[in-house]
Amino acid sequence: MNESDVLNRLRQIATDPAARGLLDDVALLGDLVATHDTIAEGVHFLPEDPPDSVGWKLVTVNLSDLAAKGAEPLAALLSLTLAGDEEWELRFLNGIAAACESYALPLVGGDTIALPSTAPRVLGLTVLGRAGPNTPARSGGQAGDTLWLVGTVGDSAAGLAQLQGDRKAHGPLVDIYRRPIPLLDAGQRLAPHAHAMMDVSDGLLIDARRLALASNCGAIIDLDSLPLSSDFIAERGGGRGARLFAATGGDDYALLAAMPADFDPALSLSLPSRPSVTRIGSLAAPGPPLSLVSGGRPVELPERLGFEHAC
């Protein structure tokens, strides 16, 4: 079963309104926002990655889900698998502690289990947040909305590619892959005005398609407008191939927001200059769930839109 098949079956079970039809990355229980993310060795982090960066990543990918809903972090529960490597586990917990301290996130409980020493590590975290005045779902987008991206795309995928070529690689792109930054402040500022919002974790194209499908719209993405960092351009270039790589790479933890057509967050909100806020497309009436353009002309979609779990 692939991820889509599993979610379709789970929707028959998760029928409470808090689940939002499993069309979102969070559950909404009154004014509480709840999310859970799991990261697995060999899938979300490399066996050679520093354990403290793995701990940091587990916390921050969960916080990114809260950022996409404009929520304030409240508490976390950790699911820790022990594989008999005390030094690795202590360093991992140091990374958890550093991230929790950085984002004022209390760790209030969880569970531990022992695994065989040969088993890959699978680590989970549940995070609770306090909802703001609006908790934008993926499903709230409307035809005519503009699509805005907070942050850049491609850096993490480029860093992973560097590590896959040389496990001792280092530099800013590797750092971004290993230690993502959740855009909590930007999310809290955008959420009151957003019709729909989500974080970009599996790749911009696949996530934009998910937002469009949930909103019963079609997403049109302008490939030329995608924000790329100077470090990414220095490594991969800025041509069409590089932009498609960036748009499908994943692990960006940028924010994708559908805003009213007459609302420009770059002008209407007091946002810092970093991360960037860029208009990258729009939502249209129901039709193809995802379209790409460049130079005003259609671009064929790549075969792979992003990361999708399959088994």
What are 38's two structure tokens?
């799991």
What are 18's two structure tokens?
């808090």
Give CA–CA dist 64/180, Å, rounded: 9
What are 50's two structure tokens?
């520093």
- pTM of the predicted model as reported, rounded to 2 decimal places: 0.93
DSSP string, 135-172: ---GGG--TTPEEEEES-SSHHHHHHHHHHH-TT--SH
C-alpha closest to that of 256 among 294, 286, 285, 214: 214
Class of domain 138-299: alpha beta
Q: How confident is the model at residue 194 (pLDDT cuts 50, 70, 90)?
A: very high
| Each residue's pLDDT tens digit, 245-301 | 999 999 999 999 999 999 999 888 887 777 999 999 999 998 899 999 999 999 999
Task: Give the gyration radius of the chain's Cα atoms.
Answer: 19
Residue 311 has pLDDT above 80, yes or no: no
Q: Report the pLDDT averaged over residues 109-117.
A: 90
| Each residue's pLDDT tens digit, 163-173 | 999 999 999 99
Percent with pLDDT over 70 in the chain: 99
Domain coordinates in residue numbering, the chain? 3-130, 138-299
What are 227's two structure tokens?
């924000």
Superfamily of domain 3-130: PurM-like, N-terminal domain (3.30.1330.10)
What are 102's two structure tokens?
């950085």
